[in-house]
Structure 1
Amino acid sequence: MSFFDTIPVGRLLNCFVADLDELDQLLPIVVEEFLILFLMVVAILLVVSVLSPYTLLIGIILVTICLVYYLKFKMAISMFKRLENYSRSPLLSHIVTTLQGLSSIHIYGKTEDFISKFKRLSDTQNNYLLMFLSSSRWIALRLETMTNLLTLTVALFVAFGISSAPYSYKAMAISLILQLASNFQATARIGSETEAYFTSAERMLQYMKMCVPEAPLHTEGMSCPPGWPQHGEITFQDYQMKYRDNTPIILNGINLTIHGQEVVGIVGRTGSGKSSLGVALFRLVEAAAGRILIDGVDISSIGLEDLRSRFSVIPQDPVLLSGTIRFNLDPFDCYTDEQIWNVLDTTFLRMTISKLPQGLQAEVVESGRNFSVGERQLFCIARAVLRKSKIILIDEATASIDVETDTLIQHMIREVFQGCTVLVIAHRITTVLNCDRILVMNKGEVVEFDRPEILQQKPESMFASLLATANFSMS
């Protein structure tokens, strides 16, 4: 996850669109053309040197001068190509962010600002492309001048009869050397472009080194106990976590036990570490110290697929994939249509899906844009209900739903997830007042962990302060 957290979206698009296109489409063509021209130039020089031995000496001098030119300017050409690749990333990033926030741009009247920024980024990228092409042509012009001098020299040798070869051979030598004039500069120019295109491979290798893989999906010799987790008890023991090596500790010395079949509300101010608990539970980031036990099993000792397949998460931003409704609810085809319809009935989606002509096979467009945000959230809840996991993580699942539906959803969650351990990360503190216990986080540490009525009775408690602030904002 640290790779996607640190790499902007424009660079990723540049890598998977432009760099891959250059490696898959352009580079093979350029390399093939370079090899053909190179072999043709070598063949011409060999034939001409046999016909006129003095040409071999001139050819060696010419190749030496061209090699000096190439070594002197190849760094500049590669640098221009590298800058052209880098300048494409902010341009792509700007296009993506503009498309995502198009409605906000129109509302706030910032259309001209975004257009001017697009023009500025486009001009920068085109300037580097122009410098790359101009540098290649600059070298090509001088190399062509040298090959023309070589043609003049061979023609003089032939004219003054220095060589004893027959006139027919001399005419063939002049014909071949005339071909060399254009082929030689093309070989040098395309050779420099070929090396410049390898900067795309260089960038992709850098990304491969930066992208550290996750832990293995399955751990040999270690498997989950049958039916694990049976109770859903979660224990944090001196747990510490940081997102990357060069970042500070986010969770510092967490020690707590969440009993099985308990509903726990997790609250705190922004940056207190609420969502980081979910990140730790799913092992999106490995522990810096300490461990997490679920029903006595250390989650770091088992494979990621064995771990994550036992949990369900209901995110704040609903996630739907392109495909059918059935695919989004049951991507691995583990449940029957009857079970899916029962879950849709539980999550108040049955009527909505029944109105669609294709039912469960109705299409879901990219990101689920053919459904409202509230309906997308209900789909995520239905997905979690269908899996029947023992541990459920809810990240403010009703943030995008109206108050009336919010009340129904909260009641439904209490009924459907009975017998499950439910962790509710709350951004609206009033939604967790019915939880069994409240976990209050602050600066990555556990401040309070008790029943909500007990915390409300303590005026000095942080939970009471947060609740008073929330009630004041609502009033």
Structure 2
Amino acid sequence: MRQQELMDRSNSPEYFQLTALSWVQLRVEALAHISVLALSLIATGGTISESLAGIAFTNSIVLTDWLNMVLTATAQLEADISIENLQVRYASRPGYAVHTRDLTVKIRRGEKIGIVGRSGSGKSTLLVALCRLLEPHSGRIVIDGEGITRIGTRALRSRIQIIPQEPILFSGTIRSNLDPEGVFPDCEIWRVLEMIGLKKYVSDLTEKLDSEVSENGSNFSVGQRQLLCLGRAVIVRPRILVIDEATASVDGAADRTIQACRKSHFKDATVLCIAHRLNTIADMDRVLVLADGELAELNSPAALLSRPDSLFNELAEATGPANAALIREIATSRWR
């Protein structure tokens, strides 16, 4: 019963969206047909030439498709994420803004955003505010047209998955760490383990999915713990994925697995990646550069790297000539 209830709650927003889309499409098609009828009456009345009537009819055929496309795109804008004049302060120090000062950003649905900045620039504070671990002092964060302060924390956080910088596992089993709510069948858990490259390792364990996970996952390597955190995010297919410097302390193989999953299994999700290695965000749609809690730059990686005065370009150059050249190659190859 609980599984059915959770599935209903998960599917209800999609159902309402499809219902609204059908309502709009019906009326758009009716409007298009009325336009074609009016055009037919004008053409048969002989008030316009045959050539003009032919051109008008040819274009009117695709009128419905164009109207549907425009209205669907407009509706999608309502499903974006926007940060409007966000300012965050601790209750103990209400007179001091914590690294986020009047930050305003518009993020499109499904967009992949890399977030960079020097230490103390406000990267982690933005994540804390997004999950409502710290309430905005002023301004707001809007998801799907609704301010997050009007959304229950449980409902909000259930739609946001985080792959943290320090991988966190809980005492229990591999199964309970990948599926804490216990709503997914074993076949789905095995499928996720195969995606993250741990299926063979878990298959070789005596207890398989019921193998013990010690406190903080101490019986797993750092890379394995990070991959299990990745699997926890993959299995729920979140609308918003936050990667908080997840590759900062893992080996190259785990890093490649994380990046491959980000590109394939989260292609429809909105991804916010707080970057430790600039290489990992050089192929993203846009890069958000923060400085002292304010928006310094927001553009595609290639555009920012092409500007000598860009802060992102400066950060790339600081990694060394060879790596800076690699970052440019990744950024430019995305658009080839």
- Whether these two folds match at TM > 0.5 is yes
Equivalent positions of 1:322-471 (< 5 A) are 322-471=171-320
Within 5 Å, which residues of 2 pair with 1:291-306?
A: 291-306=140-155
Residue among 240, 249, 269 paired with 2:97: 249
Aligned AA (1:245)? S
After TM superposition, give the deviation of residue 270 of structure 1 in Å. Answer: 0.2
Q: Is the 8 A contact 1:224 1:306 kept in 2?
A: no
**How big is each residue's C-alpha offset from its partner over 1:444-468, in whole Å with a ceiling of 9 and x where there is no partner?**
0010000000000000010000000
Moved over 3 A (4+): 223-226, 228-232, 472-475
Tell whether 2:86 aligns with 1:239. yes
Matched, 1:317 2:171: no
Distance 1:330 1:311 in 2: 15
Counterpart contact for 2:87–2:137, Cα < 8 Å: yes
Q: Who wins on radius of gyration, i.e. which is larger?
A: 1
The 5-angstrom pairing of residues 86-125 of structure 1 reads none
Inter-partner Cα distance in structure 1 for 2:136 and 2:167: 27
Q: 1:253 to 1:321 in 2, by over 3 A?
A: same
Structure (1 or 2) with the greater strand fraction: 2
Structure 2: gaps spanning 5 or more residues: 1-8, 18-75, 325-336
Higher-helix-fraction structure: 1
Structure 1 unmatched ranges of 5 or more: 1-222
Q: Deviations over 1:386-420 (max 9, x none)?
A: 11111000011122222244233212211110100
Matched pairs, number: 253
Kept in 2: contact 1:430–1:470 (CA 8 A): no
**Cα deviation, residue 474, structure 1:** 5.8
| Secondary structure class of the residue paired with 1:459 | coil
Higher relative contact order (CA 8 A, sep 6+): 2
**Cα contact 2:88–2:97 (8 A) shared by 1:** yes
Secondary structure, aligned partner of 1:374: helix
CA distance in 1, matches of 2:101, 2:122: 10
Shift of 1:472: 4.8
Q: CA deviation at 1:352?
A: 1.1
**1:6-405 alignment runs, 5 A limit:** 226-227=12-13, 233-246=80-93, 248-250=96-98, 251-405=100-254
CA RMSD of aligned residues (A): 2.1
TM-score (normalised: structure 1): 0.51
Question: For the residues of structure 2 that align with 1:417 and 1:246, how far apart are their CA atoms?
Answer: 38
- What is the aligned partner in structure 1 of residue 66 from structure 2? none
Cα deviation for residue 473 of structure 1 reads 9.1
- Aligned partner of residue 417 in structure 1, secondary structure: coil
